[in-house]
Amino acid sequence: MDAVNEPMTPLIMLAVDGVIAPFGRPGSQWQEHRVVADGLTLTLWLNPATGPKLLKLAEITGAELVWATAWDHDANVEIGPLIGLPTQSVCVVGQDAPPDLAAKIWCFKTPRIAQYTAGRPFVWFDDSLTLRDAAYLRGVEGVGDHLLIHVEPYRGLTDDHMERARAWLAKNRRPRGGS
């Protein structure tokens, strides 16, 4: 297959708050950690099994993991090592939606996700996604196929969420060597 016809590598966009770090301890496998972001010490619940599961999901689907969180690059320093993730790419999302889009979306990250993904297929795990965000993404020219997976913020990312992503990403798998 030549480079022109080769599918683009799909992305797995990851939020931290409410997704990787639920608001509360959803089970005994979640461990309490103190982390620092923007000079503030925060207490988070993290499951050490999450990182290996995400790495496996990325490996079997040929996808790339990307932080899509207000933690920005701090996610690689403070969160990734605690759950077994190596340094990942970061979609810098900022803290606020552009004023002209605030009424069209719910999640402030949505316009930056649309820009960052640049036509690539993607799965986005977030606790702030609504139908307004889905409609916005459908209306932006050049946004690739995508699956938005709303994560309940007090439960965090579950195996069911990852299975939904795996099934969807299987349709967008990048070929590995060979014809």
- What DSSP designation does 75 have? I
Residue range 32-69, pLDDT digits in tens: 999 988 888 999 999 999 999 999 999 999 999 999 99
Q: Write down the pLDDT at residue 7.
A: 65
- Can you tell me the distance from the alpha carbon of 41 to that of 9, in angstroms, rounded to the nearest whole number? 36
Q: pTM for this structure?
A: 0.88
Q: What does the alpha-carbon distance between residue 19 and residue 1 come to, in Å, rounded to a whole number? A: 37
Provide the 3-class DSSP secondary structure of residue 90: strand
**142-151 mean pLDDT:** 94
The pLDDT of residue 110 is: 87
User: Is it true that domain 11-170 has CATH number 2.60.40?
Assistant: no
Q: Where are the domains of the chain?
A: 11-170
**Can you give the pLDDT at residue 3?**
46
